[in-house]
Amino acid sequence: MAKIIGGLGTSHVPSIGAALDKGLRDTPDWKPFFDGYEAGKEWVREAKPDIAVVVFNDHGNTFFLDRVPTFAVGVADSYNPVDEGWGPRAIPPFEGATEFAWHFVDKLVERHFDPLVCREIEVDHGMQVPMELFFGRPEKWPVKVVPIWVNTIQYPIPTPQRCWEMGKVLREAIESWPTDERVVVLGTGGLSHQLQGARAGFINQDADRAWLDGIAANPEHYRNMTREDYVEQFGSEGAELIMWLVMRAAMNEKVDLVHKHYYAPASMTGAGMVVLENAA
């Protein structure tokens, strides 16, 4: 059967991709941020995953408000970067793990989820940036992908508990997939930030640092928080962090926090990552 080799949590701030495009990696604003990801990239190189499941939200680039899926899953052969207003970015398309993605959709529906199933669709920075942070800028991505979109834009957004439940189904799908493929799960978004309202620019470094440790050691705490709690502690857009719960729930109850990194601000956001491995 296929195997979960690890869980990655990371921010997906669009400015990160723009900084790479503009060659700003080693400028004073960005170098400490990118340097902190080197350990994560090294972990991925050694872990050699075959499939990356990437949990993220669209930011008004692929989905408009005419139809807002709470959860969507990609079963496409390939995903191109979407034009977010600046022209398409010069990064390679992502090859879909089509057969596993369909298997995951089967499992979801068996377990009473009702995802939108996407056969032809583009992906925004929510997926691009995490892939670049952990896989660099290859000519061809070394993994196939399964995108999972979670609506975090228009309320009602799903509850943290629901994201957790989806992670449990993801694990079941991976462990019942009859190949020897190695799967890494990326939960993305956050950390604290707020783009709208008079509290714009809100960053909560204490809550962010507690999150990076707590998501490993005490996920129950975050699973039981309300959406209001997320908005209050992490800002209106920081509520994206609920998507890390999909990744965390797919892992063992006990995990090892192998790497972590925090930097603020990246653009207007508290930013960082974790690398988790299942503990015995």
User: Which positions are catalytic?
Assistant: 125, 193
Beta carbon of residue 222, minimum distance to another protein (angstroms, whole number): 17
3-class DSSP state of 145: strand
Cβ proximity to another protein: between 84 and 277 the closer is 84
Q: What is the biggest distance separating any 2 CA atoms in the chain, rounded to whole angstroms?
A: 51
Beta carbon of residue 159, minimum distance to another protein (angstroms, whole number): 10
Whole-number Å distance between alpha carbons of 132 and 274: 15
Q: Judge whether 17 and 128 are in contact, CB under 8 Å.
A: yes
DSSP H or E stretch at residue 93:
none
The DSSP annotation for 211-235 comes to: HHHHHHH-HHHHHTS-HHHHHHHH-
The DSSP annotation for 157-188 comes to: PPPHHHHHHHHHHHHHHHHT--S--EEEEEEE
Structure tokens of 25?
A: 């990696």
Residues in the chain: 280
Beta carbon of residue 131, minimum distance to another protein (angstroms, whole number): 20
Whole-number Å distance between alpha carbons of 234 and 208: 8
Cβ proximity to another protein: between 141 and 222 the closer is 222
Whole-number Å distance between alpha carbons of 61 and 84: 6
Place of tokens 């979407």: 82
Cβ proximity to another protein: between 10 and 236 the closer is 236
Q: Contact residues for another protein (CB under 8 A)?
A: 15, 59-61, 64-66, 82-87, 153-156, 194-203, 227-228, 231-232, 235-236, 264-265, 267-268
Beta carbon of residue 123, minimum distance to another protein (angstroms, whole number): 13
3-class DSSP state of 79: strand
Q: Judge whether 56 and 243 are in contact, CB under 8 Å.
A: yes
Beta carbon of residue 107, minimum distance to another protein (angstroms, whole number): 29
Instruction: Report whether the peptide linkage leading into residue 32 is cis, meaning its omega lies within 30 degrees of zero.
Output: no
Beta carbon of residue 85, minimum distance to another protein (angstroms, whole number): 4
Cβ proximity to another protein: between 10 and 15 the closer is 15
Cβ proximity to another protein: between 10 and 151 the closer is 151
Cβ proximity to another protein: between 1 and 200 the closer is 200
3-class DSSP state of 241: helix
